[in-house]
Amino acid sequence: MAKGNVFQGIQTTAIHAGEGPDPTTGASAPPLHMSSTFVTENVAGFSAHDLAEDSAFLYARWSNPNVASLEAKIAALQGTQACLCTASGMAAATAIFLTFLSAGDHLIVSDVSYAGVAELARDTLPRLGIEVSTVNLSDLAAVTAAVRPNTRLIHSESPVNPILRLTDLAAVSRIAHSAGALHSCDATFASPLGMNSQALGIDLVMHSITKYIGGHGDAVGGAVAGSAELIAKMRLESAIHHGGILSPFNAWLIARGMATLPLRMKAHASGAQAVAEFLETHPKVTQVMYPGLSSHPQAELAQAQMSNTSGMISFQVGSAAVGRATAQRMIDDLQVIHYAVSLGHHRSLVFWMETAGLMETSFRLDPTQEESYRSFAGDGIFRLSIGLEDAEDLIADLDRVL
């Protein structure tokens, strides 16, 4: 099984960790292993409980050479001992919740998060007997106040989708650990380049690898990185029993994309900085949120915590009606940027997200929480994912529709 070597430089790690020349053919590029089962050389047990760190490949739901190689690459870049890949980012979140929470346990989750995670936490987990508190994790006093004797997990997201609010992740780790709980963080927006999860004390770092890690908008997948012990538990529960595994082909595509992740993240951040500065000066734009701008309300935390400010921007144009009209002009007239959901791709993407609708469907915030949300998002925001095109072309495209 490919193991993650740790190289000196981050770009060398992204290219070489978890892979090497094929021992049978000498192929320099990793071959694609489309095999659901593997011929075994030893008499082995058939239960997931017989799986060991050094087990040979047995069945693709346990592990597969392409998935194992990608897992080693992500662990090396995130600086953790191990990683588990899943069928999607949502499968990664589900894997965390269903491995580490049981009926009677308490979860503290960010009151704003990826909508799928928000709905999973509000609707599915309580049905299974899990207590859930939705808390503004940028308010540390609120986090401390929410801790209960049965709190097992705090799940954060930073920057938070879609409003780009940050969480002081080291502080949340300290609160979690002093309560005997784990801290998992959805770092999809930050990418492994934007977050030193070790230094921040995060136990489980989750990514939708559909986004920056794959980077090309052609494969859906998820990942959770952490200690060998925690990841082994998740592999047994989530991969082998729940079955939401990543396909070898998606692993192969995503690993190819990931080889250029550090280079791409630099380009995403510098493109986003240029576009955010343009938007800030545009007369039709009423507010811009980007962690690289000094106007971000948590600019100091962004500086301290994010080694790369990533490519995600949100901006407002005024009332919801103006937002909707602008969205329609984008759909009709954008020539470079695609009007579409998702993010982290080489193509730039933009999507209108109206506050009133999200309050009803996904977030259901109390008045104090909604006030914090609206201080970042007003009546609605455009979530803009800056790709790898020339910033001048993106600026011209936005200028045409604003």
Ligand X SMILES: *Cc1c(COP(=O)(O)O)cnc(C)c1O
For binding to ligand X (CB under 6 A), which residues are involved?
88-90, 114, 116-117, 157, 161, 186, 188-189, 208, 210-211, 220, 222
Nearest residue to the partner ligand X, using Cβ:
89
Give yes or no for a contact between 164 and 295, defined as CB atoms under 8 angstroms apart: no
Closest approach of ligand X to the CB of residue 265, in Å: 15
Nearer to ligand X by Cβ, of 179 and 219: the residue is 219
Closest approach of ligand X to the CB of residue 195, in Å: 12
Residue 184 burial (CB count, 10 A): 27
> What is the separation of C-alpha 157 from the centre of its chain, rounded to a whole number of angstroms?
8
Nearer to ligand X by Cβ, of 246 and 293: the residue is 246
Nearer to ligand X by Cβ, of 120 and 182: the residue is 120
Closest approach of ligand X to the CB of residue 189, in Å: 6
Task: Report, in angstroms and rounded to the nearest whole number, the Rg of the chain calculated over CA atoms.
Answer: 21
Nearer to ligand X by Cβ, of 30 and 162: the residue is 162
Report d(CA 332, CA 318) in Å as an integer. 20
Task: Give ∠ CA 166-170-176 in degrees, rounded to 5.
Answer: 105
Closest approach of ligand X to the CB of residue 254, in Å: 11
Residue 80 burial (CB count, 10 A): 24
Strand ordering across the sheet containing 151-157: 82-86, 222-226, 204-208, 182-186, 151-157, 106-110, 131-135
65: its two tokens: 């050479």
Closest approach of ligand X to the CB of residue 247, in Å: 13
Nearer to ligand X by Cβ, of 90 and 276: the residue is 90
Report d(CA 92, CA 233) in Å as an integer. 13
Nearer to ligand X by Cβ, of 246 and 285: the residue is 246
Nearer to ligand X by Cβ, of 133 and 156: the residue is 156
β 312-316/380-385 pair status: antiparallel
Cα torsion through 107, 112, 117, 121, rounded to 10:
40
Report d(CA 376, CA 355) in Å as an integer. 11
DSSP 152-163: EEEEEESSPTTT
Report d(CA 236, CA 172) in Å as an integer. 28
Closest approach of ligand X to the CB of residue 311, in Å: 12
> What is the separation of C-alpha 208 from the centre of its chain, rounded to a whole number of angstroms?
4
Nearer to ligand X by Cβ, of 209 and 365: the residue is 209
Closest approach of ligand X to the CB of residue 256, in Å: 18
Nearer to ligand X by Cβ, of 114 and 352: the residue is 114
Closest approach of ligand X to the CB of residue 27, in Å: 29
Closest approach of ligand X to the CB of residue 180, in Å: 26
Nearer to ligand X by Cβ, of 92 and 288: the residue is 92
Report d(CA 326, CA 314) in Å as an integer. 14
Among the listed residues 51, 64, 55, the one whose alpha carbon sits nearest the alpha carbon of residue 18: 64
Closest approach of ligand X to the CB of residue 145, in Å: 25
End-to-end CA distance of the chain: 52
